[in-house]
Amino acid sequence: MNTTIIGYPRIGILRELKFASEKYFCSEITAADLEKTAKEIRTYNLALQQKSGLSLIPSNDFSFYDGVLDTAFLLNAVPARYTSLGLSVLDTYFAAARGYQGEKGDVKALAMKKWYNTNYHYMVPEIDDDTDIRLAGTKPFDLFTEALENGVKTKPVITGAYTFLKLARYKGTKTASDFIAQTAAAYSAILDRFNALGAEWVQFDEPSLVTDMTADDIKLFTALYEKILAGKGSVKVIAQTYFGDVRDCYKELCALPFDGIGLDFIEGKKSLELVKTNDFPADKVLFAGIVNGKNIWRNNYASTLLILDELKKHTSDIVLSTSCSLLHVPCTLANETKLPESIRKHFAYAEEKLTELAEISSIAGAEHPLETTEYRLNTALHSEPRSGRNDAVREKVAKLTEKDFIRLPEFAERERIQKERFALPLFPTTTIGSFPQTQEVKSARKAFRSGELNEADYESFLREKIADCVKLQEEIGLDVLVHGEFERNDMVEYFGECLDGYIFTEKAWVQSYGTRCVKPPVVWGDISRAKPMTVKWSVYAQSLTDKPMKGMLTGPVTILNWSFPREDITLRESALQIALAIREEVLDLEANGISIIQVDEAALREKLPLRRSDWREDYLDWAIPAFRCVHSGVRPETQIHTHMCYSEFADIIRDIDDMDADVITFEASRSDLTILDVLRENNFRTEVGPGVYDIHSPRVPSKEEIKAAVNKMLSRIPAEKLWVNPDCGLKTRGNAETIPSLTNLVNAAREVRNENS
Ligand code: GLN
Ligand code: ZN
Active site residue 641: no
Q: By alpha-carbon position, which residue is closest to atom 4 of ligand 1?
A: 729
Q: Which ligand is nearest to the CA of 666?
A: 2
Would you state the pLDDT for residue 672? 66
Burial 439-459 (b: 16+ CB within 10 A, else e): eebeebbeebeeeebeeeebb
Closest ligand 1 atom number to CA of residue 728 = 8
Q: Which ligand is nearest to the CA of 495?
A: 1
Instruction: Say which residue, 490 or 23, is predicted with more confidence.
Output: 23
SS3 641: strand
Q: How far is the CA of 50 from the centre of ligand 2 (A)?
A: 43
Torsion angle of the four alpha carbons 743, 747, 748, 752, in this order, in degrees rounded to the nearest 10 = 160
| CA atoms of 269 and 247, how far apart (whole Å) | 10
Q: Which ligand is nearest to the CA of 490?
A: 1
Pocket test for ligand 1, best of 601, 605, 728 (most atoms within 8 A of CB): 728
Helices (H), 296-369: 301-312, 341-344, 350-365
| CA atoms of 32 and 18, how far apart (whole Å) | 15
For 309-346, the pLDDT digits (tens) are 999 999 999 999 999 999 999 999 999 999 999 999 99
Return the ∠ at Cα 17 (arms to 14 and 22), rounded to 5°. Answer: 115
Average of per-residue pLDDT across 468-478:
98
Phi, psi at 512, each rounded to 5°: -105, -50
Strand partners, 646: none
| The amino acid at 8 | Y
What does the DSSP 8-state code read for residue 484?
B
Give the residue among 129, 118, 44 at the shortest CA–CA distance from 513. 118
Residues found in the chain:
757
Neighbours of 486 (CB within 10 A): 25
What does the DSSP 8-state code read for residue 282?
T
Pocket test for ligand 1, best of 432, 533, 641 (most atoms within 8 A of CB): 432
Give the residue among 219, 209, 281 at the shortest CA–CA distance from 248. 209
Helices (H), 367-504: 373-383, 391-398, 411-422, 439-450, 455-476, 493-498
Give the residue among 112, 91, 89, 108 at the shortest CA–CA distance from 24. 91
Q: How far is the CA of 728 from the centre of ligand 1 (A)?
A: 6
Strand partners, 204: 158, 239
Torsion angle of the four alpha carbons 613, 618, 621, 625, in this order, in degrees rounded to the nearest 10 = -150
SS3 465: helix
Would you state the pLDDT for residue 667? 86
pLDDT interval class at 673 (50, 70, 90): confident
For 356-413, the pLDDT digits (tens) are 999 999 999 999 999 999 999 999 999 998 789 999 999 999 999 999 999 999 999 9
Q: Is pLDDT of 268 > 90?
A: yes
CB 409 within 8 A of CB 662: no
Would you state the pLDDT for residue 649? 82
Neighbours of 383 (CB within 10 A): 8
Give the residue among 257, 242, 140 at the shortest CA–CA distance from 199. 140
Average of per-residue pLDDT across 710-728:
96
What lines the ligand 1 site, CB under 6 Å? 432-434, 485, 491, 552, 600, 602, 643, 645, 728-729, 731
Average of per-residue pLDDT across 55-65:
98
Average of per-residue pLDDT across 616-636:
97
Residues 6+ apart with CB under 8 A from 93: 64, 65, 69, 73
Give the residue among 712, 654, 661, 646 at the shortest CA–CA distance from 683. 654
Q: Is pLDDT of 301 > 80?
A: yes
Closest ligand 1 atom number to CA of residue 552 = 1
For 549-572, the pLDDT digits (tens) are 999 999 999 999 999 999 999 999
| CA atoms of 509 and 14, how far apart (whole Å) | 8
Q: How far is the CA of 586 from the centre of ligand 2 (A)?
A: 20
Residues 6+ apart with CB under 8 A from 87: 95, 100, 104
Q: Is pLDDT of 610 > 80?
A: yes
| CA atoms of 757 and 754, how far apart (whole Å) | 5
Mean of the per-residue pLDDT values for the chain?
A: 96
Q: By alpha-carbon position, which residue is closest to atom 8 of ligand 1?
A: 602
CB 633 within 8 A of CB 585: no
Closest ligand 1 atom number to CA of residue 488 = 10
Average of per-residue pLDDT across 491-514:
93
Would you state the pLDDT for residue 694? 86
Cα end-to-end distance, the chain, whole Å: 76
Residues 6+ apart with CB under 8 A from 691: 432, 665, 666, 667, 668, 669, 725, 726, 727, 728
Average of per-residue pLDDT across 69-73:
98
| CA atoms of 15 and 510, how far apart (whole Å) | 9
* Cα R_g (the chain), whole angstroms: 27
On the question of a cis peptide bond just before residue 409, with omega within 30 degrees of 0, the verdict is yes
For 2-17, the pLDDT digits (tens) are 999 999 999 999 999 9
Please tell me the CATH code under which domain 2-332+340-383 is placed: 3.20.20.210
Q: Which ligand is nearest to the CA of 600?
A: 1
| The amino acid at 378 | N
Q: How far is the CA of 495 from the centre of ligand 1 (A)?
A: 13
Give the CATH number of domain 404-755; options: 1.10.3720.10, 3.40.50.620, 3.90.1150.10, 3.20.20.210: 3.20.20.210
Closest ligand 1 atom number to CA of residue 731 = 10
Q: Note whether 2-332+340-383 and 404-755 share their fold.
A: yes
| CA atoms of 348 and 344, how far apart (whole Å) | 8
Average of per-residue pLDDT across 132-155:
98
CB 22 within 8 A of CB 98: no
Would you state the pLDDT for residue 164? 98
Q: How far is the CA of 712 from the centre of ligand 2 (A)?
A: 21
Return the ∠ at Cα 268 (arms to 265 and 273), rounded to 5°. Answer: 80
Give the residue among 203, 129, 110, 134 at the shortest CA–CA distance from 163. 203
Give the residue among 529, 404, 549, 582 at the shortest CA–CA distance from 482. 549
Domain spans, the chain: 2-332+340-383, 404-755
Strand partners, 615: none
SS3 10: coil
Would you state the pLDDT for residue 670? 65
Q: Where are the beta strands (DSSP E) in 504-586?
A: 510-513, 516-518, 522-529, 550-554
DSSP string, 135-167: ----HHHHHHHHHHHTT---EEEEE-HHHHHHH
| The amino acid at 718 | P
Q: By alpha-carbon position, which residue is closest to atom 1 of ligand 1?
A: 433
Would you state the pLDDT for residue 645? 85
Average of per-residue pLDDT across 636-654:
91
Would you state the pLDDT for residue 686? 98
Using CB atoms within 10 A of its CB, is residue 613 exposed (0-12), middle (13-18) or buried (19+)?
exposed
CB 650 within 8 A of CB 676: no
Would you state the pLDDT for residue 522? 97
Strand partners, 228: none
Would you state the pLDDT for residue 43? 98
Strand partners, 397: none
- Three-state SS across 663-692? EEEECCHHHCCCHHHHHHHCCCCCEEEECC
Would you state the pLDDT for residue 680? 94
SS3 522: strand
| The amino acid at 320 | L
CB 32 within 8 A of CB 139: no
Beta strand 499-503 with 522-529: parallel, antiparallel or unpaired? antiparallel
Would you state the pLDDT for residue 500? 96
Using CB atoms within 10 A of its CB, is residue 411 exposed (0-12), middle (13-18) or buried (19+)?
middle
Give the residue among 656, 649, 714, 642 at the shortest CA–CA distance from 685. 656
Q: Is pLDDT of 669 > 90?
A: no
| CA atoms of 472 and 727, how far apart (whole Å) | 19
Would you state the pLDDT for residue 697? 79
Give the residue among 8, 131, 121, 141 at the shortest CA–CA distance from 69. 121
Q: How far is the CA of 86 from the centre of ligand 1 (A)?
A: 39
Closest ligand 1 atom number to CA of residue 643 = 8
- Three-state SS across 237-255? EEEECCCCCCCCCHHHHHH
Q: Where are the beta strands (DSSP E) in 318-366?
A: 318-322
Using CB atoms within 10 A of its CB, is residue 741 exposed (0-12), middle (13-18) or buried (19+)?
buried
